[in-house]
Amino acid sequence: MDYYLAIDIGASSGRHILCSIEDGRMKLEEIYRFENNVILKDNHYCWDIPTLFQHIQIGIKECVKQNKIPKTLGIDTWAVDYVLLDNQGKLVDKTYAYRDYRHEKGYQNVLQKFSLEELYQRTGIQFQKFNTLFQLNSHDQDISHACDYLMIPDFLNYLLTGKKVNEYTNMSTTQLLDIKTNTLDQDILKQMNMNKDIFQDMLMPSSSLGCLSEDMQKVLGCNIEVILPATHDTGSAYMAAIEEDSIILSSGTWSLLGIETFMPIVSEESMKANFTNEGGYDYRYRFLKNIMGLWIIQEVSREIKGKYSFSELVQLARKSRFEGIFDVNDDVFLKPENMTREIMRYFEKRKQPVPVSIGDIAYCVYRSLAFSYKEAIKELEKITQKTYSTINIIGGGCQNELLNEMIADICNIKVIAGPVEATAIGNIVAQLIQQKIVKDLREGRELIRKSFEIKEYKGELYESNI
Ligand code: LFR
């Protein structure tokens, strides 16, 4: 039996998902799961990369222990964050997390040279203060001696193989690529005094990095070929979307709502609505909008110390009739000290009824998300001059039946929910294409369709429950 391993690391947890092909279907098995949390260093939120790398190794060793050594593996993580290495291979400055509030300085620096309009025209990338371009211009410490720029998955791949490359889909989120050529925008680098030599060769998903380094082979007791998936998790997730011509919503810590397109859309309207054109598999683009997502409820759950599971929160929410909704994309929800209090404050400030019980809070979070999707769909339809009758919700969030019902009802759209493990599946499909087990993404999506359960929701369900 051949196995393929996806190491999928999100902002709150990571997983090793092993795939085999049985009876023409993908079969998944979770081998190992670990937590990922930001840590505070000198008052800054940072990633704990050494611990993450330890977890990567433990998960691989677990495959060896179970005698299921994968032929290939691929790593994906969230986007925009990076490490800088000096000429000794040591880290230059900290590995900042994108939710750290330090971008103001970089943002102001960049704005002195480029307007937001020009940046959008050049790169096609939405405005987010945490974009790498702003982060790279926000360091307090001198970074001029940095020799290598690696994004988080690039760095983890380097630790496994000794090879330094930059993977394209993740690089597109830096806002350093020219949308017309999909290569580094030399003007931006020059104007911002950035050393172009720190960047590596840029490789596409489904490229092979070759074997584990000899040291790693010894440590892990096996040899595995390392393949680049779309190393940006959302890039991998969108590969697993199975409905042609539908809206795609990758639902996890973030809600990433958009479409897949072969041509980027860079218009005044798309800029105003803050839609982005992220690089995808085969130079497809993800024309999408970042919506704050389930992060809000994850934080609420953390604050009550996991007193209720996510499905219990949904049950409590089902009993609520709280009517208010809030703007989920308000900056205050990016990394508040206390999410529950921040939600309450939102309503207090506006002198509106305040959700107090945990059921009301959860209900109001889900409904506010559904209304923000409705808004984003409206914008998307206006920009593309198309109407969409279906939304394909992928990722862990598509298991939330209440939210699916709300979306179908509030957005008046058919919901196709699944696959749940979209990111790991997309990651594995990139490996299968490299291994010539499937021909291309179209064939990969057919395989996904055959392999996983997909549910359908039509409107009115949630309304009839009220
Ligand atoms: C989702 C995601 C989004 C990106 C955000 C920050 O995990 O990768 O696509 O905008 O995290 O990196």
What is the per-residue pLDDT across 345-400, written as a single tens digit (0 to 9) for each? 999 999 999 999 999 999 999 999 999 999 999 999 999 999 999 999 999 999 99
What was the pLDDT predicted at 428?
99
Task: Look at the pTM and tell me if it is higher than 0.90.
Answer: yes
78 lines ligand 1 (CB under 6 A): yes
Whether 93 shows a pLDDT value over 70: the answer reads yes
The reply to whether domains 4-227 and 241-418+436-466 share a CATH topology is yes
Q: Which are the contacts of 413, defined by CB distance < 8 A and separation ≥ 6?
A: 247, 377, 388, 389, 390, 391, 407, 459
* CB 98 near ligand 1, within 6 Å: yes
Q: How far is the CA of 140 from the centre of ligand 1 (A)?
A: 24
Q: DSSP states of 251-265 as a string?
A: ESSSEEEEEEESS--
Mean pLDDT score, 309-327:
96
Is residue 253 lining ligand 1, measured as CB closer than 6 Å? yes
- Integer Cα distance of 274 and 329 in angstroms: 11
Rounded distance from Cα 177 to ligand 1 centre (Å):
17
Closest of 256, 265, 262 to residue 238, by C-alpha: 256
**Cα–Cα distance measured from residue 391 to residue 415, given in angstroms and rounded to the nearest whole number:** 5
233 lines ligand 1 (CB under 6 A): yes
CA distance 370 to 296: 13
Say yes or no to pLDDT of 244 above 90: no
Q: Which of 83, 239, 98 is nearest to 169 (CA)?
A: 239
For the question of an ipTM over 0.90, the answer is yes
Angle between helices 295-303 and 339-349 (to 10 degrees): 110
pLDDT at 306: 83
Q: Which atom, in ligand 1's list, is nearest to the CA of 278?
A: 9
What's the 68 CA to ligand 1 centre distance in angstroms? Answer: 31
Amino acid, res. 150? L
CATH of 4-227, one of 3.20.20.80, 1.10.1040.10, 3.30.420.40, 3.20.20.140: 3.30.420.40
* Residue ID of nearest Cα to ligand 1 atom 6: 79
- Ligand 1 mutation pick, 290, 292, 294, max ligand atoms within 8 A of CB: 290
The domain ranges of the chain are: 4-227, 241-418+436-466
**Amino acid code (one letter) for 299:** E
**pLDDT score at 462:** 62
Nearest CA to ligand 1 atom 7: 78
Q: At CB < 8 A and 24+ separation, what contacts does 66-70 make?
A: 66/31, 68/1, 68/3, 68/18, 68/31, 69/3, 69/222, 69/224, 70/3, 70/4, 70/5, 70/18, 70/224
Q: Under 8 Å CB-to-CB from 117, ≥6 apart: which residues?
A: 271
Closest C-alpha to ligand 1, atom 1: 78
pLDDT at 255: 98
Residues 306/342, Cβ–Cβ less than 8 Å: no
Q: Does 395 contact ligand 1 (Cβ within 6 A)?
A: no
Give me the architecture of the 241-418+436-466 domain, per CATH: 2-Layer Sandwich (3.30)
393 Cα: distance to centroid of ligand 1 (angstroms): 16
CA 256–ligand 1 middle distance (angstroms): 8
Q: What is the pLDDT of residues 189-217, one digit of tens each?
A: 999 999 999 999 999 999 999 999 999 99
Q: What mean pLDDT value characterizes the chain?
A: 96
pLDDT at 45: 96
| pLDDT value, residue 465 | 54
User: What is the rounded CA–CA span in Å between residue 342 and residue 336?
Assistant: 7
Which pLDDT band holds residue 461 (cuts at 50, 70, 90)?
A: low
61-70 pLDDT per residue, tens: 999 999 999 9
* 234 within ligand 1 shell (Cβ under 6 A): yes
- Report pLDDT digits (tens) over 13-31: 999 999 999 999 999 999 9
The residues assigned a catalytic role are 233
Q: Distance between alpha carbon 303 and the CA centroid of its chain, in Å?
A: 23
For the chain, give the percent of residues with pLDDT over 70: 98
Q: For the residues of 58-114, what is the DSSP string, one character each?
A: HHHHHHHHTT---SEEEEEE-SS-EEEE-TTSPBPS--B-TTSS-HHHHHHHHHTT-
CA distance 342 to 262: 40
Ligand 1 neighbourhood includes 326 CB (under 6 angstroms): no
* Cβ–Cβ < 8 Å for 216, 160: yes
CA 159, 163, 167, 173 dihedral sign is positive
Q: How far is the CA of 172 from the centre of ligand 1 (A)?
A: 12
Report the SS3 class of residue 209. strand
Q: Which tens digit of pLDDT belongs to each residue from 403-418?
A: 999 999 999 999 999 9
**Ligand 1 contact, 10 CB (< 6 A):** yes
Structural contact between residues 257 and 273, judged by C-beta atoms closer than 8 angstroms = no
Q: Cα torsion for 163, 164, 170, 174, to the nearest 10°?
A: 170
Ligand 1 atom closest to the Cα of residue 254 is: 1
pLDDT of residue 313 exceeding 90, the answer is yes
Ligand 1 pocket, residue 293 CB under 6 Å: no
Between the alpha carbon of residue 158 and those of residues 9, 200, 394, the distances in Å are 16, 12, 30
